[in-house]
Chains A and B, each alone.
Chain A
């Protein structure tokens, strides 16, 4: 992709409804742009600066970028869930009244029971590991399956 092609696609994106962007590299790997302020379009490369790592911006040459698409259009990796599936399920499970626990199975085999409501933003969900435990941050990419209460009960 050229600088102009990337700029044209990037500037046309309206962020409404909100969905992070996926930058698909020619290697097949992808990186994400969560917010417009993370991205700077230099002459020959895309620079992504993340708030949690502000001194280590990521650099991607336009020539190494194959595609720029809403993350909601990116298919799931084998054995994982897509962002579109994650987005729809999280919205339903976190906001439903009354809240009912659900289970998140990770691709590494770990199983996390979500027993309390916690915020979810973009590609990250949060889960209290137990009442006194730390808040876990889980990226959709690490999730193999989300099991709702009904499925847990019938298993």
Chain B
């Protein structure tokens, strides 16, 4: 997925009322679960993800494979 597509999808999901959690999956199979709308922030091509335990992860916005409007736990198919 290109950065612009990801940005568009992200905005659509963040604007959904009421907000529904979603999962972002990267090309390396890493998954991030967004439980708040402001948990993933885009700054150019760099995306930052705030973990709920206060850690912060970064990823290339062009490395997103899919965004799914449900919670997919890590390790699940």
Tell whether, in the assembled complex, residue B41 and residue A50 are in contact, meaning their CB atoms are under 8 Å apart.
Answer: no
Tell whether, in the assembled complex, residue A120 and residue B39 are in contact, meaning their CB atoms are under 8 Å apart.
Answer: yes
Q: Report how far A135 CA is from B40 CA in the complex, Å.
A: 15
CB distance from B59 to the nearest CB of A (A): 12
Tell whether, in the assembled complex, residue B37 and residue A91 are in contact, meaning their CB atoms are under 8 Å apart.
Answer: yes
The size class of the interface chain A forms with chain B is 20 to 34
- Provide the B30-61 mask, 1 if CB < 8 A to any CB of A, else 0: 00000111111101000011111111100000
Main secondary structure of the interface of A (DSSP, over half): loop
CB distance from A71 to the nearest CB of B (A): 12
- Provide the A83-108 mask, 1 if CB < 8 A to any CB of B, else 0: 00000001100110000000000000
Per the CB 8 Å criterion, the residue count for chain B at the interface is 21
Name the residue on A nearest B19 (C-beta). A17
Q: Report how far A118 CA is from B49 CA in the complex, Å.
A: 9
Q: Which residues of A contact B51 (CB under 8 A)?
A: 51, 121
Assuming the contacts A18-B36, A94-B41, asked whether A124 and B14 have C-beta atoms less than 8 A apart, the reply is no
Q: Does A63 contact B (CB under 8 A)?
A: no
Q: Does A55 contact B (CB under 8 A)?
A: no
Q: Does A42 contact B (CB under 8 A)?
A: no
Tell whether, in the assembled complex, residue B38 and residue A122 are in contact, meaning their CB atoms are under 8 Å apart.
Answer: no
Assuming the contacts A91-B38, A119-B40, A119-B41, asked whether A137 and B54 have C-beta atoms less than 8 A apart, the reply is yes
Q: Which of A20, A52, A124 contacts B50 (CB 8 A)?
A: A124
Task: Show the binding face of B for A, using Cβ within 8 Å.
Answer: 14, 18-19, 21, 35-41, 43, 48-56
